[in-house]
Amino acid sequence: MSGKTVTRADLCEAVYQKVGLSRTESADLVEQVLSEISDCLVSGEAVKLSSFGSFLVRSKGERIGRNPKTGEEVPISPRRVMVFRPSNVLKQKINESLVGE
Partner 1 sequence: MIKSELVQRIAEQNPHLYQRDVENIVNAILDEIVDALKGGDRVELRGFGAFSVKNRPARIGRNPRTGQKVEVTEKYVPFFKTGKEMRERLNGGKDLGADD
State the Cα–Cα distance between residues 49 and 40, nearest whole angstrom.
Answer: 13
**Residues of this chain that bind partner 1 (CB under 8 A):** 1-8, 10-11, 14-15, 17-19, 21, 26, 29-30, 32-34, 36-38, 40-42, 45-50, 52-53, 57, 60, 76-77, 79-84, 86, 90-91, 93-95, 97-99
Closest contact distance (angstroms) between CB of 35 and partner 1 is 9
Closest CB to partner 1 among 60 and 66?
60
Closest contact distance (angstroms) between CB of 93 and partner 1 is 6
Strands 63-66 and 47-49: unpaired
State the Cα–Cα distance between residues 32 and 18, nearest whole angstrom.
Answer: 17
State the Cα–Cα distance between residues 7 and 95, nearest whole angstrom.
Answer: 22
Closest contact distance (angstroms) between CB of 52 and partner 1 is 5
Beta bridge partners of 86: 53
Assess contact for 22 and 12: CB atoms under 8 A: no
Closest CB to partner 1 among 4 and 69?
4
